[in-house]
Structure 1
Amino acid sequence: MKINSININNIRSYRDQKIEFNNGITVITGPNGSGKSSSLDALFIALYGNKAIVDKDRKISDIINNSSNEGSCKLDFTHFGHDYSIERVYTIGKNGNASNKKSLLKRDGSFFAEQFGMTYEKICQILNMD
């Protein structure tokens, strides 16, 4: 799997940020508070949605920026000769919980899955994960 780029919007301190990855090895470094963990949170949420949060005391709503009621991430990657794009959008309801507003997976520009469960299952199949 080669990650090409990730667009992050209203995830922690990120607002409308695009990070592009070059060929080769990528190392994410920086001082405390510079966004390293936030970048990885967005990457994992794009890939796995709600299932990316494994800590019982943490929820998707905890990482959506406090100034917004919606957070999103879009991940573009290449795997075994196919180009994939995953987009996830979460909204914060009146109860303070996040709900999945949109989960899209495209393969070579065509829709591959459009629901959270289907998207998660397809990603697991693509990446050969159980």
Structure 2
Amino acid sequence: MKKLITGIAALAIMTSAVPAFAKEAQQAPTTTVSTKISASNKALASYVRMYVDWNDVPNAETYEVSVTNLTDSYVYERNRRATSDFTTGDLYVGKNFIISVVAYDKNSNTIASGNTGVFQAKENVTSTYIWIR
């Protein structure tokens, strides 16, 4: 009889054991939530174009316009033209610039020049006048 009770007890223990990899019915399923966080919240860079005009110089054949980015120390653009007006390319708002104009005669001699002086590009300023002499 002892063997019978021991056998039943062993059978009961073996059938009630739950393997380590098995899930219990009371265990709640786990959920994973992933959230993307943007790496940067920087504002987009803004630019402005500047319309520049200047007085006509007697005997001037051409005018050379130079736009210099003083903040980053380079000539942004240079253009030679016969008219006394010019629209710049995109100037980065907040950077310092100077726009210079040189008048040349038919022999390419400099006969007059002028500039805007140093200015900071701003969204609400889109034109300027240069007096060249």
Indicate the structure whose relative CO is greater, using CA pairs within 8 Å and at least 6 residues apart: 2
Does TM, normalized by the shorter one, top 0.5?
no
- How does the TM-score come out when normalised to structure 1? 0.32
More helix by share: 1
- How does the TM-score come out when normalised to structure 2? 0.31
